[in-house]
Structure formats: structure tokens, C-alpha cells
Amino acid sequence: MTEQRPGTENRGDTLREALADDRLLVLDGAMGTLLYSRGVFLNECYEELNVTRPELVRGIHEAYARAGADLLETNSYCGNPVKLSAHGLEDQTEELNRAAAQLARDVAGDRAWVLGAIGPLGIRIEPWGPTSREEAEHYFVRQVTGLVEGGVDGFVLETFSDLDELEAAFRAVRAVSALPTIAQMSVGSDGSTSYGTTVETFAEHMDRAKPDAVGLNCAVGPAAMLEAVERLAHSTSLPVAALPNAGLPRMVAGRAMYLSSPDYMGRYAQRMVEAGARLVGGCCGTTPDHIRMVRQAMDVTRPSSAVTVQVSEHMTRATGEEPQPLAERSTFGAALASGRFLVTAEIIPPRGWDPVEMLAESHRLRDAGADAIHVLDTPLAKSRMGVIPAALLIEKDAGVETVFHYTCRDRNMLGMQSDLLGAAAAGLRNILVVTGDPPVTGAYPDSTAVFDIDSIGLTNLVHHLNQGLDPGGESIGRPTRFVIGVALSHGARDLDSELRRFHWKVDAGADFAVTQPVFDAGQFLEVLDALEDLHIPTLAGVWPLVSLRSAEYLANEVPGIRVPEEIVERMRHAQQRGPDGAREEGISIALEVCEAIRDRVDGFQVNFPRNGRESVLRVIEAIQPDPPGRKEDAI
């Protein structure tokens, strides 16, 4: 581990010493938006320019040094192996970061210190994504190693929203180097990250981690950042950095432009210092002209007097409440908690906005004895009525509880949280979390998917809401009361991976599971044996086949569903007796499977095949433990 880069002694002090005294320091401005303005396309790898067009990067560093920057950031913001892999450059992680540091080092000389710039990985880490904290730390270590080899004086961790990821990056730095480190997050105009983490919570965590300075960068312009800086400076004893954008981008002639003038940035630099900042620079949209005015403002501004750190209600991060007992969250949850055998059915919302047929179907399923109705969320990635309003319509009109399926495909984490808070406020209580089919399987193959988090991350999010917390660990007030379901694909090709993911879903807070349709009772029971330690209520999927064509389709084209050849053969023979014969055989197969597995599951979830209404109603009536309408504690 290294403290001071050889050759910096003639500067008179180390960067750590400069950060520890009361002097004001100027950071440089944007790199990415400046490269873009100089003709580098957005689809190019900006870190690769360190080796392919070093003169371009060097010229930007030189311009910032002439403008008076004390600290030059390396061109390495996206230089981690995850983001570099999008360009096929992950194997060059150390090389590109080393080159980035050397370029800045050559320009800085004795005029400035060099900070190795490290940004987020661009993926979600646990508990919101499949990447573990240890894996994230390993990715960051590779980047840090290259920057140290290139000769940086310190590091700036910037534009983070997830505290866990920021702390993983900081641990990676400390695993390789003792060089001074500035830890920064990106907040919106409300002073919170996109995860909901407040600047006070950020300060609390960083005071424990002990970087050399903390700060805020990107996302907002000087005015909004000033308010956040004031709050941050009153919440930490560490030096504070402020790097706002040059305002918010505006579209001018089809191009994003940042319109805050250098004079404006200079005025706000002075106000940042008066609010408690010790380091001021710029982020997106800022140029050497902006930094020159920041330099001038800093040269005539005295550091503010020591700011008293105030302990407020924000500085104690909410710990969350125990979720309400399952039996108290919904009638469906009470049935699960009591161990009562359940029979549920599914409905697909209409392609249009008219709910009449959907509501009529809900009445039929209720009257047949369904305990609850599952409302599917755009299956096969085909656009349909939104699942939350559809579920609300069904509950109001048919008087039966719903389990609304919710996919991760179409929304980012912020949008999901907003949807779920609205669903909770409207009275929906039961949710089944699924990752969702990719759009390429739907009617709009050119549409894009979001997949910001997967079903494991969304299960974590809903469980946090049930504790009264948002993803940033901040209180949302009264906790939600969702009964959380997850899917089990017992027929997955990579069954080991599916079972591992299922364990993670249960660890994340799942209350019950629903399986894919079961056609192979023996294989299904083997999977249940492997999951016996989890003790989670499980509803087995039941699909009454209606034709040979449907059997062949499920057997050959639908991932995660296992249809044995003998079942397909039975449907082939039955099809020879005509459509009615095939439907009767499909019902017989479904009932045989139910009988074989009934003692090992907590209920059945009857799927709704195309043209299979009568089959579904007959199966629901046949598999109930009690006659329809006579369940004493019916939902």
C-alpha cells in the first residue's frame, strides 16, 4: 500500500495534507461532455481514447490545468470491467486505467494533483441485483490497480446512488492503496439519491467509513446542489466537495446543451464555500471556462468557519419495522398462514380498455370456487391493460381478492416503487413478482426492455416497503402490507441455477411461491424434496390441455415447462377423437397430476389456456377440498 507517489515531494505537501487543512481546492470540470462536443460519438468507448487518441484527452487536461484546477480527474469514469465489456474491452481494464492516469500525470506535473475517477459499475448489486458485494469489489479492484500503476495521487468515487456500491468501491481502493479518497454521491433536487438515500444518511455512513472527503456531483445544477451542500456540511466533519452540472440539459436543435454560464458557476462556487464546501469543481456540461471562473471566485473567497455538525432525525438511518404478520396483511395471506388449501385461477387483462369480458370471467371463476384471481402482467410481452388498474377493477366488481403479477421488464426501480406505493394506497395486498418475458417474444420486437432489477431485487424492494423503508433505507412512513409471491420454474433447463435463485428469492422476503404448470409429477416432487428446508407455502401450477397443438407448444416452445413425451402422446391419441376428446383428456391429465401432488403443496393455481374456459371451470370445481361456495373461511 502506498501513501505518496514518488516525485511529489517538491509540491511541498501531500494531497492528504492539503485536504486536512483549511485551504480551498478547485477540481476540474466535465470530461465526457467535452469529448462529445469535440466530435466523439456517444457509442464510442471514451476510456479507449486514452490509448487511441491520447492527444485529445491530454488537451482537455491541459485546458483545465491552465484554467487553474488544483485537481485533475482521469478519463476513467467508466473504466471498470463491467462497462468496458460493452465494448469488448474488459480484458484491457488495467491498461486503459493506467493510460488514463499517465496522461493526467504528464499534464499535472507539479501544478496539480491527479485523482483517479471511478464511477458506478452500471449494474445493480445485492440486494437489488444478482451481483454480490464481493464481486463488485473485485471489479473495482481491477480499475484501482491500473490507476495506481499509472501514478494517481488519490481517488474520486463519483456519481454513486447506491451506498452499498459506493462502499464496495471504497473497500476496493483501500484493498490496494492508502491514497486519499473523495467519496461522492449524486442527488436530485430533493437532496436524495434515486434510491431515496438522503445526504444526512450518506454523511452518517461516510463518517464511519472515513474517506478523506465527501461530496456531491452531477444530476443537478448549482442552485439545487447548494441546498444539498448546506445539509451535507452540517452533517459531517469531513471536508465537503461540490461538483454541480452546468444546469440541467436543454434540447437545442436536437442536441443536449447545458446553459449555465461560467459567470453563474463562479458566483455559485463562492456560495458553495460559504455553505461549507472546501472543494469545488464541475460535472456534466462544464468546461475550462467554467473552471476558470470557479478559480477566480475561490481566490477571493475565504473558507467558511468550522461548521457544527448537527445530529438530526435524518442522521439516524431508519432501521425499519417487522412486517405485519402474514395473517394480518390480506385474506389471502391469512389463508396461507392458516395452512388452508387454496385454489386460485388466472386472468389475462384485455388488449383494449373495455373490462366487461374480464369482469364477467372474474365472476365465473369466483362462482366456480376460486379463492383468489391472479392477474397477469403483459404475458409474452404483449401490451395489455395495466395489471394494477385491472386488479382494482376485479376486486371492486367481483368482490374477490386478486394476486397481481408484476414484471421487472418495463420499468426502472424508481417507477416500480411508485407503482407499488400507489397499489398499496388503493388497497391491493397480494403481489407475485416475476422478471418478465423479453420484448423479442412479444408483438413489438423492436421495443426495448428495462430490466433495471430482476425478480430477486424486486422481492427485496417490496420486502423493504413492508418494513416501511425505501431502497435507500429511508422511511416511507407507514409500511405497506404486501403478501409477496415469487415464481418457481421447476422445469428449467439449468435447474441448479433456478434453485439457487429460488433460495435467494425466499431469503429476500417471499411469503409464497407459484410454480410453472406441472405435467411431470415425479420430477416436480423431486424438486420439492430439494427445497424442503425452505418451508414456504407453494401453489402448484395446473394447465388443462385443450388440444394436441397446445401440448406440443408447451413441450417445445415455452421455457421452464416440462411436458413428458407420454403426455404429448396421450393428447395425440385423444385428438383423434376430435376437439371434445382432446379437452376431456387434458382435464383428466390435470386432475391426475393434482391428485399425485396434492399432499405436498398448499394449493393449486389454475392457468387459463386459450379457448379453455370450460376446462378451467371444471378443474377448479373438481380440485377443491370443499364444494364451491361452502368454504367456511372463503376469501
Domains of the chain: 22-304 (3.20.20.330), 326-623 (3.20.20.220)
Q: What does the pLDDT look like over 83-92, one tens digit per residue?
A: 999 999 999 9
Average pLDDT over residues 244-268: 76
Per-residue pLDDT at 302: 80
Q: What pLDDT is stored for residue 634 in this prediction?
A: 43
- Residue partners of 391: CB distance under 8 A and separation at least 6: 375, 402, 404, 423, 428
Under a CB-based contact definition with an 8 Å cutoff, are residues 207 and 238 in contact?
yes
* Residue whose cell numbers read 366456480: 368
Query: Can you name the residues that pair with 198 across neighbouring β-strands?
Result: 192
Helices within 348-446 (DSSP H only) = 356-368, 387-398, 413-426
**pLDDT at residue number 442:** 46
The least confident of 50-59, 147-156, 441-450 is 441-450
pLDDT in the model for residue 384: 85
Asked if pLDDT for residue 436 goes beyond 80, the answer is: no
Which residues does 157 contact at the CB level (< 8 Å), separation at least 6?
Answer: 118, 119, 166, 169, 170, 173, 181, 182, 183, 184, 211
Percent of the chain whose pLDDT exceeds 70: 89
Model pTM? 0.79
Residue 250 predicted with pLDDT over 70: no
Mean pLDDT throughout 112-132? 93
> What's the rounded mean pLDDT across residues 254-274?
83
- pLDDT exceeds 70 at position 313: no
Question: C-alpha 153: how far from its chain's center?
Answer: 33
Element containing residue 251 per DSSP (H, E): strand 249-252
pLDDT above 50 (res 631): no
How far is the C-alpha of 58 from the C-alpha of 228, rounded, in Å? 33
Helix (H) or strand (E) holding 466: helix 455-466
Q: How do residues 322-332 score in pLDDT, each as one tens digit?
A: 999 999 999 99
C-alpha cell at 80: 471498470
Confidence of residue 353 (pLDDT cuts 50, 70, 90): very high
Cell of 512: 409464497
Smallest CA-to-CA distance from 539 within 363, 372, 368 is with: 372
**pLDDT classification of 315: cutoffs 50, 70, 90:** very low
Cα separation of 202 and 200, whole Å?
Answer: 5
Residues 270-293 have a mean pLDDT of 95
Q: Give the position of cell 416440462.
A: 562
Three-class SS state of 634: coil
What Cα–Cα distance (Å) separates residue 365 from each residue in 400, 543, 610? 10, 15, 15
* Type of residue at 57: V
Stretch among 201-215, 370-384, 468-482 having the lowest mean pLDDT: 370-384
Could you tell me which residues are beta bridge partners of residue 509? none
| pLDDT for res 398 | 95
Name 323's Cβ contacts closer than 8 Å, sequence gap at least 6.
329, 463, 466, 467, 479, 481, 509
Average pLDDT, integer, range 246-274: 78
Res 6 pLDDT > 60? no
Q: Is the pLDDT of residue 612 over 70?
A: yes
Rounded to 10 degrees, the C-alpha dihedral 136/208/70/63 comes to 30
Q: Residue 627: what pLDDT? A: 47
